[in-house]
Structure 1
Amino acid sequence: MNENWQPQVLAINDWLADATRQLVFAQIASARLDAELILAHTLRKNRSYLHAHPEEQLTERTIEIANARLSLRIERVPVAYIIGHKEFYGHQFSVTTATLIPRPESEALIELLKQVIPRNSSLLHEKPLRLIDVGTGSGNLGITAKLLYPELDVTLSDISRHALKIAEKNAKDLQVEVSILHSNLLADYPFAADIIIANLPYVDGEWERSPETEHEPASALFAAHGGKALIYELLFQTKVTLVNGGSLILEADPEQHPAIISQAKKYGLLVSGQEGYGILLEKIAK
């Protein structure tokens, strides 16, 4: 060993400053936040610990691990995949590259769900309302619904068995009882649903998008027919699977909403609410 060798010594604030500079150079807008999330995860602390102990010396091993994770972020790997979780509606959900990363835009679907449940609250005491989260991914929508309304009978469904394993883990971690179903949309759901909630792939492959999406599963992002193919297929399936008076809550780009609402009318689904990326449709009795 070189007798002049000295271990690398950095304090928390030194590492954060250097990491932030590198992320800014990589044109990552959330540079400081990402640096803090990476280091906090490496230290197994929360971000407030970093702010309270800026002069604390980092071990050489900690620096090595944090630098490796920083390199992934510079390559535009999403922070959620690096640290293994993402917050949604106040709860932490585990994520892997098998699942789409929960996004703040999807919280609009939960707000629309809140519009549906009060109108049916009396029914909750007669029989559980059946809710299915189609294309559940990490399970964030269906599990959040169950946390808010424990009386619901919730099923998490996905065509990806890998995603379902993550959804099942999240349900267990957050201590909710849900059913897990491997299904292509509603094809294998054996019941009539009172509520369907779905964040299906709706990105058109021609759209401009952030480099981070290159690391997310393409099957969870992209759909044919301008991004609307799977949504249209789901609309068709509601003819059989959604009860009269039932609700369908969808996520889509706001520019897609008019076409989706028009298509929904063919199946007796009328729009009763919109919020951000979310659309609330209700099935009218014929």
Structure 2
Amino acid sequence: MSETNLPFNEKFCPNNTQASSGEKLRQEWEKSIKNPQEFWAEKAKAIDWFKQWDKVLDDSNPPFYKWFSGGVLNISHNALDRHVKTQRKNKLAYIWEGELGEVKTYTYYQLYREVNRLAKVFKDLGLKKGDRVAFYLPVIPELPIALLATVRVGGIHTVVFSGFSAEALADRINDCEAKILVTADGSYRRGKIIAIKDNADRALQHTPTVEKVIVVKRTCQEIQMKDGRDVWYHDALAQVGANAYVPPEPMQATDPLFILYTSGTTGKP
């Protein structure tokens, strides 16, 4: 037997076959570099716009560039509404499996209805365009629901890792001046129950901007609920009913969507 060196550095792509995914990605990248405005304008056509942009890229004030200035849209609409009008309506949009082995699934339509219900809760609580909402939640379905409900009404959200301390939570709430906090009674982590609401209560002693706290019942442990401030998530949804609808707030493409803080390991986040 003799050794044969294989031509690993050569590409095999016959003329009668499509390019590989890697080759397609390279071609897309080259297009984006050669003519970025034309490239991203074409990509932007894949989503719905309430009003088309005036300019793809406004580079008149570098380094403060603005993409799709003048364009009006809503992320919640694009994540849900445009799909429930199509055959995707009853297809699965979200699959969740909890630490205890429980499984929940949501079709686009089911997710759309839940988001609208929570958006109605937010509106009834006085949340307006530009207001901030903080999430201090474990990885449960209510987290993406709350995110999409916030952007639906024009709010700006910040997600705080549920493992962070009360002090870290308070820092982030105060910095963004959150009006509403969405949290949970607790969470499961490696078989143990983590008292999330207890941490939230300690943080809330130092967060004067928070007016309402919505609490998801996850672990069913006993917690303190402050009258006039705290409300159970399921009770709030029950009050607005199953068929609540909130029109998506028209947002400028340049409006802020969320605030994401650094870890704060080496300094203030």
Q: TM-score by structure 1 length?
A: 0.35
User: Rg: which structure is higher?
Assistant: 2
Bigger relative contact order, structure 1 or 2, given CA contacts below 8 A and separation 6+?
2
TM-score calculated relative to the size of structure 2? 0.37
Say which structure is richer in helix: 1
